[in-house]
């Protein structure tokens, strides 16, 4: 009899322990390895959605008023099939029956970085371009160019540093008051004429321009651990290398020798 009681007690104790073990197991999260969305990414997405909502409300006001604004007439047309297909590819949610061509363009543009020309315009007017998307950049430019004075300021902007370098390279006098657009026309005209004449200096310029582009690239400079050299310093280093018989083309294909010469001429160019 006593043996039977002991056995029963052991069975009860076993069942209690097993039950507690199960309870402890089920109290754990279903998937402890699953990560939640980054708060930063969630905030960025929400900010973009709010910005787009404000833009569409502005578009609607323009449409209802019937007046002029920053939105072109085609903005309110029906979205095209290619646009709808692109939105599907990007897995963006939308109402295919109500979405306009402009709204579809906005959604697609929010997935793309701003174009280089747009960045130039915004930087010229000292507007931050950090993280700006294609749609946002176009919106800001449309607002800017509603002001005729800003349009004139952009058209009257002086030649770029690279354009000035072209004139120095070929010894062409740059007339005072020449705008960037005017300088570009002069450059294209000269390049066309030199190409027709098979002028070897044009190939030298193209190699030199390629070199300048490389040193203007922050990733390139990061690889060599150097600061951005001035055009004057690059020109001087090139002249030194030419004395040793190096051509522009050769230097453009072996930039190591140019980097070494630049650091030789200006040691502080080397990052610590």
Helix, strand, coil % over all residues of the chain, rounded to 5: 70, 0, 30
Angle at CA 41, nearest 5°, toward 38 and 47? 140
pTM, 2 dp: 0.69
78 dihedral zone (left: phi>0; alpha: psi -120 to 50; beta): beta
Confidence of residue 2 (pLDDT cuts 50, 70, 90): very low
pLDDT the model gives residue 13 = 44
- Enter the tokens of residue 103: 């709204």
The answer to whether 182 and 204 are in contact (CB under 8 A) is: no
Rg, C-alpha atoms of the chain: 32
The answer to whether 95 and 79 are in contact (CB under 8 A) is: no
**Is residue 78 classed as helix, strand or coil in its secondary structure?**
strand
Residue 84 main-chain phi, psi, to 5 deg: -65, -40
Mean pLDDT value across residues 200-223: 95
Mean pLDDT value across residues 29-53: 63
Confidence of residue 28 (pLDDT cuts 50, 70, 90): very low
pLDDT digit string, tens, across residues 72-123 = 999 999 999 999 999 999 998 888 788 999 999 999 999 999 999 999 999 9
Query: Sign of the C-alpha dihedral, residues 233, 236, 241, 245?
Result: positive
pLDDT digit string, tens, across residues 173-182 = 999 999 999 9
pLDDT the model gives residue 47 = 82
pLDDT digit string, tens, across residues 122-139 = 999 999 999 999 999 999
Structural domain boundaries of the chain? 46-155, 161-269
CA distance 179 to 226: 32
Top pLDDT among 86 and 37 is at 86
Confidence of residue 32 (pLDDT cuts 50, 70, 90): very low
């Amino acid at each position: 009899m006593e043996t039977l009681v002991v056995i029963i007690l052991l069975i009860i104790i076993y069942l209690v322990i097993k039950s507690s073990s199960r309870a402890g197991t089920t109290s754990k999260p279903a998937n402890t390895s699953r990560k939640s969305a980054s708060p930063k990414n969630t905030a960025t997405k929400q900010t973009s959605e709010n910005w787009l909502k404000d833009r569409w409300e502005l578009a609607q006001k323009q449409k209802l008023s019937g007046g002029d604004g920053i939105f072109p007439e085609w903005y309110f047309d029906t979205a095209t099939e290619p646009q709808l297909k692109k939105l599907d590819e990007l897995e963006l949610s939308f109402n295919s029956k109500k979405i306009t061509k402009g709204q579809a363009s906005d959604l697609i543009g929010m997935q793309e970085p701003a174009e280089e020309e747009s960045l130039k315009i915004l930087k010229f007017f000292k507007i931050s371009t950090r993280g700006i998307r294609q749609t946002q950049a176009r919106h800001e430019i449309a607002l800017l160019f509603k002001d005729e004075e800003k349009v004139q300021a952009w058209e009257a902007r002086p030649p770029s540093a690279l354009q000035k370098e072209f004139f120095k390279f070929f010894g062409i006098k740059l007339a005072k008051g020449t705008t960037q657009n005017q300088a570009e026309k002069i450059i294209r005209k000269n390049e066309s004429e030199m190409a027709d004449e098979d002028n070897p200096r044009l190939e030298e310029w193209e190699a030199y321009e390629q070199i300048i582009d490389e040193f203007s690239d922050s990733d390139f400079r990061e690889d060599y651990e150097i600061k951005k050299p001035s055009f004057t310093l690059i020109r001087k280093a090139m002249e030194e290398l030419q004395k040793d018989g190096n051509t522009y083309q050769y230097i453009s294909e072996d930039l190591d020798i140019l980097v070494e010469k630049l650091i030789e001429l200006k040691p502080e160019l080397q990052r610590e």
